[in-house]
Protein backbone atom coordinates (compact mmCIF):
# COMPACT_ATOMS: atom_id res chain seq x y z
CA UNK A 1 0.00 0.00 0.00
CA UNK A 2 1.46 3.36 -1.01
CA UNK A 3 1.98 6.11 1.57
CA UNK A 4 -0.73 8.30 0.03
CA UNK A 5 -3.31 5.52 0.21
CA UNK A 6 -2.31 4.70 3.79
CA UNK A 7 -2.53 8.38 4.80
CA UNK A 8 -6.00 8.62 3.23
CA UNK A 9 -7.13 5.48 5.06
CA UNK A 10 -5.83 6.71 8.42
CA UNK A 11 -7.45 10.10 7.89
CA UNK A 12 -10.79 8.41 7.30
CA UNK A 13 -10.32 6.25 10.37
CA UNK A 14 -9.63 9.32 12.51
CA UNK A 15 -12.89 10.91 11.43
CA UNK A 16 -14.63 8.00 13.13
CA UNK A 17 -12.22 7.89 16.09
CA UNK A 18 -10.99 11.47 16.65
CA UNK A 19 -9.75 10.71 20.19
CA UNK A 20 -7.40 7.90 19.13
CA UNK A 21 -4.13 9.68 19.86
CA UNK A 22 -1.91 6.73 18.92
CA UNK A 23 -3.50 6.57 15.48
CA UNK A 24 -3.15 10.34 15.10
CA UNK A 25 0.55 10.23 16.02
CA UNK A 26 1.11 7.46 13.46
CA UNK A 27 -0.61 9.54 10.79
CA UNK A 28 1.50 12.57 11.74
CA UNK A 29 4.72 10.58 11.35
CA UNK A 30 3.64 9.39 7.90
CA UNK A 31 2.82 12.96 6.88
CA UNK A 32 6.29 14.16 7.87
CA UNK A 33 7.90 11.30 5.89
CA UNK A 34 5.74 12.20 2.89
CA UNK A 35 6.91 15.82 2.96
CA UNK A 36 3.59 17.13 4.25
CA UNK A 37 4.96 18.76 7.38
CA UNK A 38 2.30 21.46 7.68
CA UNK A 39 -0.42 18.82 7.91
CA UNK A 40 1.68 16.95 10.46
CA UNK A 41 1.87 20.11 12.61
CA UNK A 42 -1.94 20.23 12.64
CA UNK A 43 -2.14 16.56 13.74
CA UNK A 44 0.41 17.14 16.51
CA UNK A 45 -1.53 20.19 17.63
CA UNK A 46 -4.72 18.11 17.93
CA UNK A 47 -2.88 15.54 20.04
CA UNK A 48 -1.49 18.21 22.37
CA UNK A 49 -4.86 19.95 22.60
CA UNK A 50 -6.32 16.73 24.03
CA UNK A 51 -3.25 15.75 26.08
CA UNK A 52 -0.84 18.71 26.60
CA UNK A 53 1.78 16.51 28.28
CA UNK A 54 1.84 13.81 25.60
CA UNK A 55 5.54 13.09 24.93
CA UNK A 56 4.83 11.58 21.52
CA UNK A 57 2.83 14.65 20.51
CA UNK A 58 5.62 17.00 21.61
CA UNK A 59 8.21 14.95 19.73
CA UNK A 60 6.05 14.91 16.61
CA UNK A 61 5.51 18.66 16.85
CA UNK A 62 9.26 19.35 17.07
CA UNK A 63 9.93 17.00 14.16
CA UNK A 64 7.17 18.47 12.01
CA UNK A 65 8.17 22.06 12.75
CA UNK A 66 11.79 21.29 11.89
CA UNK A 67 10.72 19.64 8.62
CA UNK A 68 8.48 22.59 7.73
CA UNK A 69 11.30 25.04 8.41
CA UNK A 70 13.72 22.95 6.33
CA UNK A 71 11.29 22.88 3.43
CA UNK A 72 11.10 26.67 3.59
CA UNK A 73 14.88 26.92 3.72
CA UNK A 74 14.94 28.44 7.21
CA UNK A 75 14.76 27.58 10.87
CA UNK A 76 16.28 24.94 13.10
CA UNK A 77 17.23 22.42 10.41
CA UNK A 78 20.46 24.31 10.10
CA UNK A 79 22.72 25.66 12.82
CA UNK A 80 21.24 28.71 14.56
CA UNK A 81 22.23 31.84 12.75
CA UNK A 82 23.68 34.74 14.70
CA UNK A 83 21.43 37.76 14.74
CA UNK A 84 22.48 40.36 12.19
CA UNK A 85 24.34 43.24 13.77
CA UNK A 86 23.39 46.53 12.19
CA UNK A 87 26.04 49.11 11.53
CA UNK A 88 26.06 52.30 13.54
CA UNK A 89 23.14 54.47 12.54
CA UNK A 90 21.50 51.70 10.46
CA UNK A 91 17.87 50.67 10.85
CA UNK A 92 17.89 47.43 12.92
CA UNK A 93 14.64 46.29 11.28
CA UNK A 94 16.20 46.68 7.84
CA UNK A 95 18.88 44.10 8.70
CA UNK A 96 16.24 41.56 9.72
CA UNK A 97 14.18 42.40 6.66
CA UNK A 98 17.16 41.77 4.35
CA UNK A 99 17.91 38.45 6.05
CA UNK A 100 14.29 37.28 5.78
CA UNK A 101 13.67 38.67 2.30
CA UNK A 102 13.31 35.21 0.66
CA UNK A 103 10.40 34.51 3.02
CA UNK A 104 8.82 37.83 4.02
CA UNK A 105 8.11 40.50 1.37
CA UNK A 106 9.62 43.94 2.04
CA UNK A 107 7.58 46.44 4.01
CA UNK A 108 7.91 49.10 1.33
CA UNK A 109 9.15 49.16 -2.25
CA UNK A 110 10.51 51.94 -4.38
CA UNK A 111 8.23 53.43 -6.99
CA UNK A 112 10.14 51.73 -9.79
CA UNK A 113 9.82 48.33 -8.14
CA UNK A 114 6.13 48.85 -7.55
CA UNK A 115 5.67 49.65 -11.23
CA UNK A 116 7.21 46.30 -12.14
CA UNK A 117 4.78 44.43 -9.90
CA UNK A 118 1.49 46.15 -10.66
CA UNK A 119 -0.16 46.75 -14.01
CA UNK A 120 -0.56 50.31 -15.18
CA UNK A 121 -3.36 52.06 -13.39
CA UNK A 122 -3.04 49.98 -10.21
CA UNK A 123 -4.55 46.60 -9.38
CA UNK A 124 -7.31 45.39 -11.69
CA UNK A 125 -10.90 45.83 -10.57
CA UNK A 126 -12.63 42.52 -9.77
CA UNK A 127 -15.09 41.38 -12.36
CA UNK A 128 -18.68 42.17 -11.40
CA UNK A 129 -21.64 40.20 -12.54
CA UNK A 130 -25.21 41.27 -13.15
CA UNK A 131 -26.42 40.20 -9.69
CA UNK A 132 -23.47 41.36 -7.59
CA UNK A 133 -25.62 43.99 -5.86
CA UNK A 134 -27.89 41.24 -4.59
CA UNK A 135 -27.51 40.22 -0.99
CA UNK A 136 -25.54 37.11 -0.09
CA UNK A 137 -27.55 34.16 1.19
CA UNK A 138 -25.29 31.79 3.10
CA UNK A 139 -25.58 28.29 4.48
CA UNK A 140 -24.05 28.23 7.94
CA UNK A 141 -22.03 25.21 9.11
CA UNK A 142 -21.88 26.39 12.74
CA UNK A 143 -24.03 24.56 15.30
CA UNK A 144 -25.20 25.50 18.77
CA UNK A 145 -22.88 22.81 20.14
CA UNK A 146 -20.00 24.93 18.82
CA UNK A 147 -21.10 27.81 21.04
CA UNK A 148 -19.63 27.54 24.52
CA UNK A 149 -21.95 28.34 27.41
CA UNK A 150 -24.87 30.76 26.79
CA UNK A 151 -27.36 28.22 28.16
CA UNK A 152 -30.12 30.77 28.78
CA UNK A 153 -29.73 32.26 25.30
CA UNK A 154 -29.97 28.81 23.72
CA UNK A 155 -33.10 27.99 25.72
CA UNK A 156 -34.78 31.21 24.63
CA UNK A 157 -33.95 30.56 20.99
CA UNK A 158 -35.26 27.01 21.32
CA UNK A 159 -38.62 28.30 22.54
CA UNK A 160 -38.90 31.13 20.04
CA UNK A 161 -37.82 29.50 16.79
CA UNK A 162 -35.84 26.25 16.88
CA UNK A 163 -38.44 24.04 18.57
CA UNK A 164 -41.39 25.18 16.41
CA UNK A 165 -39.24 24.82 13.28
CA UNK A 166 -38.31 21.20 14.07
CA UNK A 167 -41.89 20.20 14.96
CA UNK A 168 -44.24 21.43 12.24
CA UNK A 169 -47.21 19.34 13.42
CA UNK A 170 -47.02 20.71 16.96
CA UNK A 171 -46.48 24.17 15.55
CA UNK A 172 -49.69 23.82 13.58
CA UNK A 173 -51.55 22.41 16.59
CA UNK A 174 -50.59 25.29 18.85
CA UNK A 175 -50.85 27.92 16.13
CA UNK A 176 -47.24 29.00 16.61
CA UNK A 177 -45.94 31.27 13.89
CA UNK A 178 -42.36 31.13 12.60
CA UNK A 179 -42.24 34.86 12.15
CA UNK A 180 -40.91 37.06 14.87
CA UNK A 181 -37.76 38.61 16.18
CA UNK A 182 -35.28 38.51 18.99
CA UNK A 183 -32.77 41.14 20.07
CA UNK A 184 -29.45 40.01 21.50
CA UNK A 185 -27.70 42.61 23.61
CA UNK A 186 -24.65 42.72 25.79
CA UNK A 187 -20.98 43.73 25.89
CA UNK A 188 -19.08 43.75 22.57
CA UNK A 189 -17.18 40.63 21.55
CA UNK A 190 -19.34 38.13 23.45
CA UNK A 191 -20.56 36.08 20.49
CA UNK A 192 -23.83 37.64 19.34
CA UNK A 193 -22.98 37.25 15.65
CA UNK A 194 -21.62 33.74 16.20
CA UNK A 195 -24.85 32.77 17.94
CA UNK A 196 -26.91 34.02 14.99
CA UNK A 197 -24.91 31.83 12.60
CA UNK A 198 -25.33 28.87 14.93
CA UNK A 199 -29.12 29.24 14.88
CA UNK A 200 -29.12 29.14 11.08
CA UNK A 201 -26.76 26.16 11.04
CA UNK A 202 -28.81 24.26 13.61
CA UNK A 203 -31.85 24.37 11.34
CA UNK A 204 -30.12 24.03 8.02
CA UNK A 205 -31.81 27.35 7.30
CA UNK A 206 -30.47 30.14 5.15
CA UNK A 207 -28.57 32.96 6.80
CA UNK A 208 -28.41 36.59 5.78
CA UNK A 209 -26.46 39.29 7.54
CA UNK A 210 -27.23 42.99 7.23
CA UNK A 211 -25.18 45.96 8.31
CA UNK A 212 -25.76 49.66 7.79
CA UNK A 213 -23.43 49.78 4.76
CA UNK A 214 -25.76 47.33 2.95
CA UNK A 215 -28.64 49.77 3.28
CA UNK A 216 -27.56 53.39 3.20
CA UNK A 217 -27.25 55.13 -0.14
CA UNK A 218 -26.57 58.75 -1.02
CA UNK A 219 -29.57 58.99 -3.38
CA UNK A 220 -33.02 59.74 -2.01
CA UNK A 221 -35.19 56.62 -1.70
CA UNK A 222 -32.44 54.10 -2.46
CA UNK A 223 -31.82 53.23 1.19
CA UNK A 224 -35.46 52.31 1.70
CA UNK A 225 -35.42 50.26 -1.51
CA UNK A 226 -32.28 48.41 -0.42
CA UNK A 227 -33.92 47.52 2.88
CA UNK A 228 -37.04 46.28 1.12
CA UNK A 229 -34.98 44.17 -1.30
CA UNK A 230 -33.13 42.58 1.58
CA UNK A 231 -36.34 41.49 3.31
CA UNK A 232 -37.74 40.28 -0.01
CA UNK A 233 -34.65 38.13 -0.54
CA UNK A 234 -35.09 36.65 2.95
CA UNK A 235 -38.74 35.87 2.23
CA UNK A 236 -37.88 34.12 -1.03
CA UNK A 237 -35.29 31.99 0.79
CA UNK A 238 -37.40 31.05 3.82
CA UNK A 239 -36.86 29.46 6.22
CA UNK A 240 -34.25 32.12 6.73
CA UNK A 241 -32.51 33.73 9.68
CA UNK A 242 -32.06 37.43 8.96
CA UNK A 243 -29.39 38.96 11.16
CA UNK A 244 -29.43 42.72 11.71
CA UNK A 245 -26.08 43.65 13.18
CA UNK A 246 -25.72 46.92 15.12
CA UNK A 247 -29.47 47.47 15.02
CA UNK A 248 -29.03 50.74 16.94
CA UNK A 249 -27.44 52.26 13.81
CA UNK A 250 -30.54 51.65 11.66
CA UNK A 251 -33.19 51.72 14.35
CA UNK A 252 -31.99 54.35 16.77
CA UNK A 253 -34.53 56.42 18.65
CA UNK A 254 -36.32 58.62 16.15
CA UNK A 255 -36.63 61.37 18.74
CA UNK A 256 -32.83 61.63 18.65
CA UNK A 257 -32.57 61.76 14.85
CA UNK A 258 -31.76 65.03 13.14
CA UNK A 259 -31.80 63.58 9.61
CA UNK A 260 -35.09 63.20 7.76
CA UNK A 261 -33.61 60.50 5.53
CA UNK A 262 -32.67 58.34 8.52
CA UNK A 263 -36.19 58.70 9.92
CA UNK A 264 -37.64 57.32 6.70
CA UNK A 265 -35.19 54.40 6.77
CA UNK A 266 -36.24 53.63 10.34
CA UNK A 267 -39.90 53.80 9.32
CA UNK A 268 -39.20 51.42 6.43
CA UNK A 269 -37.57 48.96 8.83
CA UNK A 270 -40.67 49.01 11.04
CA UNK A 271 -42.89 48.38 8.01
CA UNK A 272 -40.76 45.43 6.86
CA UNK A 273 -40.82 43.86 10.33
CA UNK A 274 -44.60 44.18 10.36
CA UNK A 275 -44.84 42.54 6.92
CA UNK A 276 -47.45 45.07 5.83
CA UNK A 277 -47.27 44.29 2.11
CA UNK A 278 -46.28 40.62 2.38
CA UNK A 279 -45.97 37.75 4.82
CA UNK A 280 -42.85 37.24 6.96
CA UNK A 281 -43.70 33.62 7.73
CA UNK A 282 -40.45 31.61 7.84
CA UNK A 283 -38.30 34.71 8.32
CA UNK A 284 -36.88 34.94 11.82
CA UNK A 285 -35.15 38.23 12.58
CA UNK A 286 -32.22 38.24 14.96
CA UNK A 287 -30.82 41.63 15.89
CA UNK A 288 -27.72 42.48 17.90
CA UNK A 289 -26.65 45.62 19.66
CA UNK A 290 -24.28 46.77 22.36
CA UNK A 291 -26.56 49.69 23.26
CA UNK A 292 -30.21 48.55 23.44
CA UNK A 293 -31.10 51.76 25.30
CA UNK A 294 -30.47 53.65 22.05
CA UNK A 295 -32.87 51.49 20.01
CA UNK A 296 -36.26 52.99 19.19
CA UNK A 297 -38.93 51.56 21.53
CA UNK A 298 -41.19 50.95 18.52
CA UNK A 299 -38.81 48.22 17.37
CA UNK A 300 -39.44 46.30 20.59
CA UNK A 301 -43.22 46.19 20.31
CA UNK A 302 -45.00 42.80 19.96
CA UNK A 303 -44.57 41.26 16.53
CA UNK A 304 -41.25 42.99 15.94
CA UNK A 305 -38.13 42.54 18.07
CA UNK A 306 -40.31 41.90 21.09
CA UNK A 307 -37.93 39.65 23.01
CA UNK A 308 -34.58 40.74 24.42
CA UNK A 309 -31.89 38.31 25.55
CA UNK A 310 -28.77 39.33 27.45
CA UNK A 311 -25.54 37.83 26.07
CA UNK A 312 -23.01 37.93 28.89
CA UNK A 313 -19.24 37.36 28.95
CA UNK A 314 -18.50 33.63 28.75
CA UNK A 315 -18.64 31.65 31.98
CA UNK A 316 -15.85 29.29 33.06
CA UNK A 317 -17.01 26.40 30.89
CA UNK A 318 -17.42 28.67 27.88
CA UNK A 319 -14.00 30.25 28.44
CA UNK A 320 -12.44 26.79 28.54
CA UNK A 321 -14.13 25.92 25.22
CA UNK A 322 -13.04 29.18 23.55
CA UNK A 323 -9.42 28.86 24.68
CA UNK A 324 -9.26 25.23 23.55
CA UNK A 325 -10.67 26.20 20.15
CA UNK A 326 -8.09 28.97 19.72
CA UNK A 327 -5.15 26.75 20.70
CA UNK A 328 -6.35 23.62 18.91
CA UNK A 329 -4.24 23.94 15.76
CA UNK A 330 -1.25 25.65 17.39
CA UNK A 331 1.89 23.99 18.79
CA UNK A 332 1.35 24.01 22.56
CA UNK A 333 2.99 22.32 25.54
CA UNK A 334 2.40 22.49 29.29
CA UNK A 335 -0.63 24.78 29.11
CA UNK A 336 -2.39 25.05 32.48
CA UNK A 337 -5.94 25.50 31.18
CA UNK A 338 -7.74 25.69 34.58
CA UNK A 339 -5.36 28.45 35.69
CA UNK A 340 -6.01 30.46 32.53
CA UNK A 341 -9.78 30.04 32.88
CA UNK A 342 -9.64 31.26 36.48
CA UNK A 343 -7.58 34.31 35.48
CA UNK A 344 -9.88 35.43 32.64
CA UNK A 345 -13.15 36.22 34.41
CA UNK A 346 -15.02 39.08 32.67
CA UNK A 347 -13.05 38.46 29.45
CA UNK A 348 -15.20 38.49 26.32
CA UNK A 349 -14.78 35.87 23.62
CA UNK A 350 -12.86 38.42 21.54
CA UNK A 351 -10.58 39.14 24.52
CA UNK A 352 -9.79 35.43 24.86
CA UNK A 353 -8.97 35.16 21.17
CA UNK A 354 -6.67 38.17 21.50
CA UNK A 355 -5.02 36.54 24.52
CA UNK A 356 -4.22 33.38 22.55
CA UNK A 357 -2.97 35.41 19.59
CA UNK A 358 -0.67 37.40 21.87
CA UNK A 359 0.73 34.24 23.46
CA UNK A 360 1.45 32.84 20.00
CA UNK A 361 3.20 36.08 19.02
CA UNK A 362 5.50 35.89 22.04
CA UNK A 363 6.47 32.28 21.28
CA UNK A 364 7.04 33.06 17.60
CA UNK A 365 9.15 36.14 18.39
CA UNK A 366 11.26 34.06 20.77
CA UNK A 367 11.75 31.43 18.05
CA UNK A 368 12.88 34.10 15.58
CA UNK A 369 15.36 35.57 18.04
CA UNK A 370 16.87 32.25 19.13
CA UNK A 371 16.77 30.47 15.79
CA UNK A 372 15.12 27.49 17.49
CA UNK A 373 11.42 26.86 17.04
CA UNK A 374 9.62 26.14 20.29
CA UNK A 375 6.04 25.52 21.30
CA UNK A 376 3.62 27.93 22.97
CA UNK A 377 4.00 27.46 26.72
CA UNK A 378 2.29 28.63 29.89
CA UNK A 379 4.85 31.42 30.32
CA UNK A 380 3.68 32.95 27.02
CA UNK A 381 0.07 33.00 28.20
CA UNK A 382 1.07 34.46 31.57
CA UNK A 383 3.00 37.19 29.77
CA UNK A 384 0.01 37.88 27.53
CA UNK A 385 -2.28 38.12 30.57
CA UNK A 386 -0.19 41.06 31.79
CA UNK A 387 -0.97 42.95 28.57
CA UNK A 388 -4.53 41.89 27.70
CA UNK A 389 -7.30 43.21 29.93
CA UNK A 390 -11.05 42.50 29.79
CA UNK A 391 -12.86 44.98 27.57
CA UNK A 392 -16.30 44.55 29.17
CA UNK A 393 -15.76 46.93 32.13
CA UNK A 394 -16.79 50.20 30.42
CA UNK A 395 -19.94 48.55 29.03
CA UNK A 396 -21.07 47.36 32.47
CA UNK A 397 -20.40 50.81 33.92
CA UNK A 398 -22.84 52.33 31.41
CA UNK A 399 -25.31 49.46 31.63
CA UNK A 400 -25.43 49.80 35.41
CA UNK A 401 -26.75 53.36 35.13
CA UNK A 402 -29.32 52.30 32.54
CA UNK A 403 -30.50 49.38 34.68
CA UNK A 404 -30.89 51.64 37.71
CA UNK A 405 -32.66 54.60 36.12
CA UNK A 406 -34.17 53.49 32.79
CA UNK A 407 -35.63 50.03 33.35
CA UNK A 408 -39.02 50.77 31.83
CA UNK A 409 -41.33 47.78 31.94
CA UNK A 410 -38.64 45.51 33.38
CA UNK A 411 -36.72 45.33 30.08
CA UNK A 412 -33.41 45.01 31.90
CA UNK A 413 -34.42 42.76 34.78
CA UNK A 414 -31.99 40.04 33.64
CA UNK A 415 -29.18 42.61 33.54
CA UNK A 416 -30.03 43.79 37.07
CA UNK A 417 -30.01 40.20 38.33
CA UNK A 418 -26.55 39.65 36.84
CA UNK A 419 -25.17 42.90 38.27
CA UNK A 420 -26.46 42.00 41.72
CA UNK A 421 -24.98 38.52 41.44
CA UNK A 422 -21.59 40.04 40.62
CA UNK A 423 -22.09 42.61 43.41
CA UNK A 424 -21.91 45.46 40.91
CA UNK A 425 -25.33 46.70 41.98
CA UNK A 426 -27.06 46.72 45.37
Give the residue-averaged pLDDT of 5-17.
Answer: 81
The CATH number of residue 47's host domain is 1.25.40.10
Give the residue-averaged pLDDT of 239-261.
Answer: 81
**Per-residue pLDDT at 124 exceeds 60:** no
The CATH number of residue 185's host domain is 3.40.50.300
Whether residue 49 sits in one domain with residue 67: yes
The CATH number of residue 356's host domain is 1.10.8.60
Return d(Cα 290, Cα 148) in angstroms, integer: 20
Whether residue 302 sits in one domain with residue 159: yes
Whether residue 287 sits in one domain with residue 354: no
Whether residue 152 sits in one domain with residue 214: yes
What b/e readout covers 317-327, taking b as 16+ CB neighbours within 10 angstroms?
ebbbbbbebbb
pLDDT of residue 198: 84
**Most confident by average pLDDT, 24-33, 165-174, 379-388:** 379-388
Give the closest residue to 249 by CA, choosing from 234, 266, 264, 225.
Answer: 266
Whether residue 173 sits in one domain with residue 210: yes
Whether residue 340 sits in one domain with residue 280: no
Domain boundary among 275, 292, 310: 310
Whether residue 325 sits in one domain with residue 214: no
Mean pLDDT of all residues belonging to the chain: 79
pLDDT of residue 6: 82
274 in a domain, yes or no? yes
- Helix, strand, coil fractions of the chain, as percent rounded to 5: 55, 10, 35
Domain boundary among 58, 76, 94: 76
373 in a domain, yes or no? yes
The answer to whether residues 278 and 272 touch, using CB atoms and an 8 Å cutoff, is no
413 in a domain, yes or no? no
pLDDT of residue 13: 81
**Per-residue pLDDT at 399 exceeds 80:** yes
**Most confident by average pLDDT, 131-135, 178-182, 282-286:** 282-286
Whether residue 337 sits in one domain with residue 276: no
**Per-residue pLDDT at 77 exceeds 50:** no
Whether residue 214 sits in one domain with residue 274: yes
Angstrom distances, CA of residue 122 to CA of 33, 47, 105, 181 = 43, 46, 19, 45
Return d(Cα 321, Cα 148) in angstroms, integer: 6
The answer to whether residues 86 and 99 touch, using CB atoms and an 8 Å cutoff, is no
In eight-state DSSP terms, residue 103 is T
Give the residue-averaged pLDDT of 16-36.
Answer: 85
Question: Domain total for the chain?
Answer: 3
pLDDT of residue 385: 95
250 in a domain, yes or no? yes
**Most confident by average pLDDT, 58-62, 74-78, 115-119, 210-214:** 58-62
**Per-residue pLDDT at 121 exceeds 50:** no
Whether residue 301 sits in one domain with residue 367: no
CB neighbours (10 Å) of residue 63?
A: 18
| Of 76 and 175, more confident | 175
**Per-residue pLDDT at 360 exceeds 60:** yes
Give the residue-averaged pLDDT of 155-175.
Answer: 82
109 in a domain, yes or no? no
Whether residue 144 sits in one domain with residue 188: yes
DSSP labels, 281-295? TTEEEEEEES-GGGB
Give the residue-averaged pLDDT of 254-279.
Answer: 78
Whether residue 286 sits in one domain with residue 355: no
pLDDT of residue 75: 46
| Per-residue pLDDT band at 12 (split at 50, 70, 90) | confident
* Domain carrying residue 320: 316-387
Domain boundary among 262, 292, 310: 310
300 CB-near residues (< 8 Å, 6+ apart): 183, 306, 308, 411
Return d(Cα 65, Cα 71) in angstroms, integer: 10
110 in a domain, yes or no? no
125 in a domain, yes or no? no
**Per-residue pLDDT at 381 exceeds 90:** yes
Amino acid sequence: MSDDILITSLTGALEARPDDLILRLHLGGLLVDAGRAVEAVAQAGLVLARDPGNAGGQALMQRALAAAASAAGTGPAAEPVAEPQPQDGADPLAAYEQELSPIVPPRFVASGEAADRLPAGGPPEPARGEHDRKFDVESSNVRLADVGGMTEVKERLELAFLGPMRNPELRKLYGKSLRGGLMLYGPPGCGKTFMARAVAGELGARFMSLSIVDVLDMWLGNSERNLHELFQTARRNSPCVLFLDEIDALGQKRSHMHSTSMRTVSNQLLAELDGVDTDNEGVFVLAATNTPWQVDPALRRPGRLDRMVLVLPPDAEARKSIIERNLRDRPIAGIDLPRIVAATEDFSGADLTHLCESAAEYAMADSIRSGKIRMIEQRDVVRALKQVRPSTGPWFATARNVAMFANEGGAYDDLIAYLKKRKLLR
